[in-house]
Every structure is written in C-alpha cells, then in structure tokens.
Structure 1
Amino acid sequence: MTHFLTSRHDITLNLVRDVAWRGEALAVADVTLDDIDKQREAFLAFVRCDSDARVYGVNQGQGEMIAEAMDEADRERLARLKPLAAAVPFGEPYPERVVRAMVLARFANLLEGHGTGSVRLVQALAAMLNEGPLPKVPQKGQGGPGEILVLYTLFADLAQSLDLEPGERGALINGAPAAAAVLADAALVGERRLALAERVLALAIVAFNAPAEHYEPVVGTLLGGAHNETAFNNLAALLDGMTNGVAARDHQAPVGYRIVPHVLGQAHAAVEQAHLMATQSLSAVTHNPIYLAPEAAGGYGRSLSTGGYHNAVAAPAMDQIAGACADLCLVCLRLCVGLLNGRVSGYPDFLLSGRKAGESDGHGAVGYLPMAITGFMEEARAAATRTFIPASDASVFGQDDVTAPAFLAWPKTMAAGASMEACLAVTAVAASQALHVTGRTQIPAPLTGLLDDVRHHVRTVEGDRVLGPDLGALTNHLRAGVFTDDHNSDGSGR
C-alpha cells in the first residue's frame, strides 16, 4: 500500500506504524509537490529581492560562524557544503523502524514550504523510504544541540548525491524530526507493552483468585479520568469468568493485588500523554529558520530564527513511560510473592508440587522467581530516571550551548520496558505454576492463549531444574509479540 502526503498533518502515529514499522510505501501528492515548488520559488525571491533578508544558513553563517560577514562567493560555497562534519556518533544503531520514522517526520517542515526544501529533496526522501537502503544511525554519543549529530549521519549519503542549492542543506539537517520519531516509537512500543502487562497481571490475579470486586469498572469510573476507566474496563474484560469452577476468595487480597488497575491506569496516562505529544511533534514545524510565505507575512515573506530543533516535550513523555514500567515491575514482584507465600495465598509454600520444602534446597526452582524479578526490577528502576536537559556546554564558542535530551531518554525507556517484559514473563510462570498446583483448569477465555504460550516455553515444575533458559525463551516470545508489526525486527525490537 502507498500512503500519500498532502499536508504535514497527515504525519500521524498511524502513519508511523504503517510506513516506519510495516514498511509500506510513501508518496507526496502532485498538488502538494506543486505547492512546495511555489513556496520554494517564493523563498528564493525573498533571499534575492528583500534587502533586509537575514536567513541563517543561507546568507548568514551557521553555528559559531553566525556573525561572520559573507560575500556572494561565501554564500554559494555555504549552499554547496555537505552536511558531514557533525556525523561523529558511533556505536549500536537505532532499529530501522526508528530511522524510517525519522525520515518520515522530516517531511513536516517541507510539505508547506516552511523548511525551504525543494521538490527534488522531497522526492529523494520518499525514495529513501521506498527504495532504501537506509543508513545506520548510532544511538550513542548524541550530545549535540538540536539534532545535527543524528541528521548529519542520516542524510550524509543523500546530500553527497546532490549538488545542493540554497536552503537545501538546512532543510535536511535542521529542525526536530528525530525527536518526534523516537517519541512516536516509544509511544507505539509503550502501548503494546502495556497491553502485554494487562494480560499477564490478569493471569496472576486469576491464579491468586483475588476477589473480582477489586476490579469492577465502576471503581474506575468513580476514580475519574479516561486512563482509569480504560484500565479497569480492560482488566474486567480479561477477568470475565475468573471464578468459574472455583469458590471466590472471601476476603480482600493484599494491597499489591488491589492496586493493579490503579497502577495500570497510571501507565495508560503515561502512554496517552506520549501519544498526544508524539502526534503534536510529528506534524510540528520545527525548522530554523522558519520561512513564512508572502500570503502569511506580506512582502516577499519573512524568515524567523527559532529554537524549534529543541523538542522539550519528548524526553519528559518518555520518562513517564519508563517510570510506569518500573512501577509495574514492582507490582509483578508483589503478585509473584503473594502466590508463593502460603500464608497469603493459601497454596503450598513456594508453589511446590508433590513434595515438601525439605525435598528441595528450601525454595524449589519456582521459589527463586522473586529474586529474578528483583534483579530486572532494579534494572528498570535504574533506567527510569528523570532525563534532565544536560547542563554541559559542548559548543566551544557559545552558540550551540544546550543539548537536546530526547536521544538520552529513548534508550532508557526501551531498557525499562525490556526489563518489565522479563518481570512479566517470570510472573506469568508463577501464575501458571499456581494454577497447576491448585488443579485449576478453567480460566477466562481471553487468557487461555497466554497460558498456553507460557507452558509451551516453561513447563510446570515438578522437581528442581534449571529454569533460566526457558524463562529467557518466554521473555523473547512475549517481546516478539510487542514488535510483531516491525517488519525488519528479529523479534527483539532492535
């Protein structure tokens, strides 16, 4: 399928999913190409005819050279200059879906002429997505102002294939498309991880036989907020039929069980905020300078120097998702411990099957699961730290004196989420074992597929054995489900 862009507002999370994740084709509508060409001609006329025109990167130097006087030869040389010098990061690259999202988000500045790009540049960007191959863009070493370290690397090959004209260099490497892309990716991954968390935590609730009243949707309604209603409604749907074939527990469950929908509600709020900010960022005009056409500004138009390349909302939104993942890891720990503690669950201690504690080393293999969760939980908590705007000034001469934080937040969000996936896998095994030792065979229909997957990778435990590789295989299986729409992924999300 080919998606056609007519305006910057066509660049949405759904389009990121289709074009960046699924690899579907992209084109720009002919009428939009005509408009881009008209805006480009208006911009060139502005530079040529307006004696007051001061356009950063066109007839003014860039970065630390902003105050340097430029003659005609200097301006021609600047126009042809290839964006190579700032391509200094190295190390593990972003997944291809993220790089594709960066290229897609690049169109926002160009479709309505604000970024001074040309029709040939727009068509070349579409060709990058449709024909490839895409360059490898490193995740590490991204300590620059705005996005030049990312975008120089991303568009170096394209720039070297063209004889650049005035404004085209800046059209490639200025603005904030990459922050929009990593935020969009975090939002899409976050919603999928949250859906997985709902299913696993619901399975643990069923295994514990917690009272259904803790999860009634009316509680979410009374709490207020769409995020709470969504969490309670989703959980209630997964738990429908949870007491079939078993007597309901006649007293309230521990706090960890009762707060499951509340913590999920907070996670929904974090993902919803990331969706909102990603939607805003993907279609935002972030160029420096922004060109306003004559229709909007009169005369030959205007050029406005801006700080649009600094996306101030991306890192906080991603941090909220990382924090929600860390909190859900703690919920996993409490639910797992509740299942293993016979005085709480009423089940055999450590969920031992057909034997006593003295016939194992004291815990049995399942009894050590909380220790694994603790390790992954602490990794999630370490990743889920606030991403401040870096205080360092790496500019040398003072122009480029603030670093963009989005590229520091994205890997932490991915790491916290990966740790949560591991905690969920371990919790699911504990739930499976609890259902096994209590002889429960009837569980809600929406959870049967999950239980089958768990037992396919980690069979129920009758005696001590090495569980680590099986737990790892289950984690990888659950993770692959998160990234099922990523046509280039091996299931790891990388």
Structure 2
Amino acid sequence: MTVLIDSSDDLTLDNIARVAWMGEQCSISDRALSVIRSRRQEFVDFVEQNADRHLYGITTKHHVGAKSVLGDDGRAEFATRLPSTPATVGPRLPERLLRAAVLARLADVLNGTACLRVETVHRLLDLLETDLPPVPARGNGEPGDIIPLGHLLRTHFDGTLEIGEGMALINGSPVAAAALGDAALAGRHRITVMEQMMALGAVAIHAPAAHYAPELEAAWRDEHQAEAIHNIRRLIETDDHSSELPYQAPVSFRSGPRVIGWARRAQAAAEECAEIALSASSNNPIFVGPAIHPPLGAVLSNGGYHNPLVAPSLDSLARTWADVCQLVTAQVNRIVEDPRGLVATEPESQVSLLYMTSAGWAEEARAAATTSLIGLGGAGQTDTGTPDLLAWRKAHDAGAALDNNLAVLGIVASHTLARSGQSVPRRLAALSRQILRRFPVGSAPVDFGAQLESVVDLLSRPRDDAAAPVSELATT
C-alpha cells in the first residue's frame, strides 16, 4: 500500500508507522505538489528582490559566514550544496527512525516554510526506496539535527541543489521529531504487555481480587489509572477465588495498576507531542509567503531547530519505563520467594534464579532514566545544543530493559502456575501456554538464554501492531 500525503496534517504517527515501521511506500498528492511549486516561485521572487540583504544560508553562508552577503558567483556556488556539517561515529540509528526523519523533513515543505523544488521533493521521497546511509546515534551535540541530517542527505544531494535548498534540507529538527515518534510507537504495545505480565504475576502470587476492584477506578480519579486497573481486572477475572491470599499482596502488586496508569498518561502525552513535532515547521530560517507578509513575503531566522517537546517527552517515557521495571523486579522476587511458588516446587533453584537477571535489567533501566538537559555548546553563536538523540537512546535503553524484564516476569509467573497446578484465568491462558512452549517447564539451564530471548520475541510488538492506538485491552 501507499501512504498519500496531502498536507503536513498527514504526518501522523499512524502514517509514520506504516512508512517507517512497515515499509509502505509514500507519495505526495498532485494538489500538494502544485502548492509546493507555487511557493518555490514566491521564494525565488523574494530572494531576487532581496539579494543584497542578509538572508541566512541563502544570500549568506551559514554559521560565521552569516556576517557577509555573498556576491552573485558566491551565492550561485553556495546554492548547489548542503552547508558544511560536522560528523560523528558510533552505533547507527535504526532504519525505521531514519525513514521517519525523511517524512518529517517534508513538514516544512508542506507548510510552505521551506521552499524546495518539486524535483527535490521527489528525490527526497526516493530515499525511502533505497538503503539509507548509516547515521551514527551518538555524539550529536549541535542545536538541531545538522549532524544526522548531514550523514543522511549529503551524498544524495550535495552539488545538485539550487538557491535556499541546502539550508532547507540540513537545518531544523526532523530527526528529533522522528525520534520521539519512534519511542511513542514503541510504547504502544509495551503498555499492553505490562498489563498482561503484571496480571500473570498477580495470579501467581495469589493477589486478592480486591486489589483490582472496579470501585478503585472512580476512587483514583484518573482515567489512565482507571483503564489500567480495568484491563488487569478483566485479565485475572475468574470464578475460583479459593487460592487468593486472605491478606494484602506485596506493595509492588498493589502499586502496579497505578504506575501503569501513569505509563498510559506518559504515553498519551508523548503521542500528542510527537504528532505536533512531526507536522510542525522546524527550519531556520523559514519563508513566510506574500499572503501573510506582503508584498513579497519574508525570511525569518528563528529557533525552529530546537523542539522543546522532544527531550522532555523522551525523558518522561524513559523514567516511566524504568519505574515499571523496578516494580517488575520486585514482583519477580516476591513470586520466587513465595512459599507456595518456585521455592517449593522446583527440584532445585533454576528458573527461580532468574531474579538475578531481573535485578540486572532493573539496574539497566535505572541507569538509563536520567534527565537530558540542554547542552552547553561551543563558542560564538552556537552556545547551546539539543539533547534529543541522547534522550532517545536513553528511552530506547530503558524500554528494552523493561521488555526483557517483562519476559522474565512472564516466565517466572507461568512456571510458578504450571508447577503448582494452579489454573490460569481464561484471558491469560493462551499467552501463558505460549510462554511455556518457548520456555518449557523442566528446561535445562543450557537452554535458558535462547529460550528467554524467544519469550522476549514473543512479547515484542508485532510489526502490524505498531499503528494501533493505545486503547482498552482488546483480548476477549
């Protein structure tokens, strides 16, 4: 299938999921191309009438070169290329994030604030049909995204451009918007898995149904917490309450629905901010057309390259996922130590030793959940940097740690239930059986690594699930 883009309003998370995660093609409507063509002409007319003015990256060079207006020959030569950018090294950004960045780069063009030629827009979209260049994930200390955009676009566009196109391609924050979108998409399915695994854990520890009573939905006065406890209650629903504890389960089981409720709120906020970031103009400078700024328009230098929604939203997700990861480890420990659990039913300590693995992943998540503050840049005008890709990496690491830890919880809970002969509630039974097929009771420790990885894979987001919105649990 092909995603048709008619305006920047179409740069949604759902469409990003289709193109970036699922590999669908993308095209721009004829109407949008007509608008792009007209805006390009307005921009060229404006520049021709203002060639003696300081227009950043258009009639001047970039950075310190902005102090001098270029002559005709210098302006023509500079127009053909991408402005110089630094480079970095290290592990690469995933292809899906780069595909999202290519789409996000279209926002300024569709908004009319970056005036590419139609043929340049087509070439930009052509990148989605190729293997994208390697773009390092680390060492990005600039304001905006000029380092990753340089890696991504230079070999394809350098030397082939016309007036104003180089700055329109290289400046701004489309990679940051893509990074937030990537994390938001990753979080959608993760919440469902949190609820499923914590529900399995609640059954394994014999948590009283009262901990998940419907009356709590109103008592806590938060729609997201209400949804979390509602979903967990439906998962553990059973007619047999004979094995429930006559007293409270440990704190981590009672706190679970509330913390997952916060995760739902953080996820919703991240999705809202991602939708804004993906469709907003982010370039510096931007062109404002004659309809808004007569008679010919205006070129406005601005701080669009710094998207203030991205790093704080990513930090919120990282901290949320790390918090849930701590609860998961606490639950694993309590299930392992339960006198009716693996301690009593395993012939020797084997699967129960996964509490050590769980503790390791909790520490990994904790280490990732640190604040990403605005960086102190170099000398001169570039005196601060944006930490968006650093924040993305920390959110990615915290999320991966949580995914692995949730798999440990699912294994420990499923083995506990299987060894004790306790029945699994109907809505969890199929999932628990799948976990046990991948990590069978009685497995030899030599197989633990591969089988744990197999369960992580089982619980990971299906590719066709990336575009599904966060909603009430669909399992019936």
TM-score class, shorter: over 0.9
CA RMSD of aligned residues (A): 2.1
Alpha-carbon separation, structure 2, partners of 1:316 and 1:478: 31
Q: Where does 1:315-330 land on structure 2 (aligned, <5 Å)? A: 315-330=311-326
1:325-371 CA distance string (max 9 Å, x none) = 111111112212222223xxx51562433x5xxxx4xxx11332222
Contact 2:435–2:455 at 8 Å: present in 1 too? no
Match of 1:481 in 2: 461
SS in 1 for 2:283: coil
Distance 1:127 1:261, change over 3 A: same
Contact 2:3–2:27 at 8 Å: present in 1 too? yes
Question: Offset at 1:220?
Answer: 2.6
1:225-267 CA distance string (max 9 Å, x none) = 22212212222222222x5374433222121111110010111
Match of 2:396 in 1: 414
The equivalent position to 1:214 in structure 2, one of 211, 214, 237, is: 211
1:184-238 CA distance string (max 9 Å, x none) = 0000101222211111111111112211121124313321222212212222222
Paired amino acid for 2:18: D
Question: Is residue 102 of structure 1 aligned with residue 101 of structure 2?
Answer: yes
Of stretches 261-270 and 473-482 in structure 1, the one that deviates more from structure 2 is 473-482
Match of 2:244 in 1: 248
Of stretches 86-95 and 306-315 in structure 1, the one that deviates more from structure 2 is 86-95
Question: Offset at 1:69?
Answer: 3.7
Question: Offset at 1:36?
Answer: 0.7
SS in 2 for 1:66: helix
Alpha-carbon separation, structure 1, partners of 2:48 and 2:42: 10
Paired amino acid for 2:105: R
Match of 1:290 in 2: 286
Question: Offset at 1:478?
Answer: 3.5
Match of 2:181 in 1: 184
Percent same amino acid among aligned pairs?
Answer: 34
The equivalent position to 2:273 in structure 1, one of 260, 277, 286, is: 277
Structure 2 residue runs of 5 or longer lacking an equivalent are 468-476
Contact 2:189–2:466 at 8 Å: present in 1 too? no
Contact 2:195–2:260 at 8 Å: present in 1 too? yes
Distance 1:371 1:467, change over 3 A: farther
SS in 1 for 2:202: helix
Q: Where does 1:336-415 land on structure 2 (aligned, <5 Å)? A: 336-342=332-338, 346-348=339-341, 350-353=343-346, 355=347, 360=348, 364-391=349-376, 393-394=377-378, 396=379, 398-415=380-397
Contact 1:39–1:112 at 8 Å: present in 2 too? no
SS in 1 for 2:111: coil
1:271-322 CA distance string (max 9 Å, x none) = 1111011011000011111111011111101111011011111111111111
Contact 2:311–2:391 at 8 Å: present in 1 too? yes
Question: Is residue 426 of structure 1 aligned with residue 408 of structure 2?
Answer: yes
Match of 1:490 in 2: none
SS in 1 for 2:381: coil
SS in 2 for 1:291: strand
Question: Is residue 301 of structure 1 aligned with residue 294 of structure 2?
Answer: no
Distance 1:266 1:75, change over 3 A: same
Distance 1:60 1:51, change over 3 A: closer
Contact 1:323–1:384 at 8 Å: present in 2 too? yes
Question: Offset at 1:128?
Answer: 1.5
The equivalent position to 1:166 in structure 2, one of 163, 166, 173, is: 163
Distance 1:479 1:450, change over 3 A: closer
Alpha-carbon separation, structure 2, partners of 1:348 and 1:230: 29
Question: Offset at 1:126?
Answer: 1.7
Paired amino acid for 1:16: I
1:368-391 CA distance string (max 9 Å, x none) = 222211111001100111111123
Paired amino acid for 2:161: L
Q: Number of paired residues?
A: 467
Match of 1:492 in 2: none
Match of 2:426 in 1: 445
Match of 2:201 in 1: 204
Distance 1:409 1:444, change over 3 A: same
Structure 1 residue runs of 5 or longer lacking an equivalent are 488-494
Match of 1:149 in 2: 147
Match of 2:473 in 1: none
SS in 2 for 1:251: coil
Question: Offset at 1:92?
Answer: 1.7
Contact 2:325–2:365 at 8 Å: present in 1 too? yes
Alpha-carbon separation, structure 2, partners of 1:459 and 1:349: 14
Question: Offset at 1:112?
Answer: 2.9
Distance 1:424 1:293, change over 3 A: same
Question: Offset at 1:482?
Answer: 5.3
Contact 1:113–1:291 at 8 Å: present in 2 too? yes
Question: Is residue 72 of structure 1 aligned with residue 67 of structure 2?
Answer: no
Question: Offset at 1:158?
Answer: 2.0
Alpha-carbon separation, structure 2, partners of 1:116 and 1:179: 21
Paired amino acid for 2:355: P
Alpha-carbon separation, structure 2, partners of 1:212 and 1:432: 19
Paired amino acid for 2:375: P
1:64-93 CA distance string (max 9 Å, x none) = 21112422222112112334x425122221
Alpha-carbon separation, structure 1, partners of 2:459 and 2:434: 12
Distance 1:66 1:217, change over 3 A: farther
Contact 1:105–1:181 at 8 Å: present in 2 too? yes
Distance 1:440 1:349, change over 3 A: closer
The equivalent position to 1:334 in structure 2, one of 322, 330, 347, is: 330
SS in 1 for 2:60: coil
Alpha-carbon separation, structure 2, partners of 1:140 and 1:329: 25
- TM score, norm. by length of structure 2: 0.93
- TM score, norm. by length of structure 1: 0.89
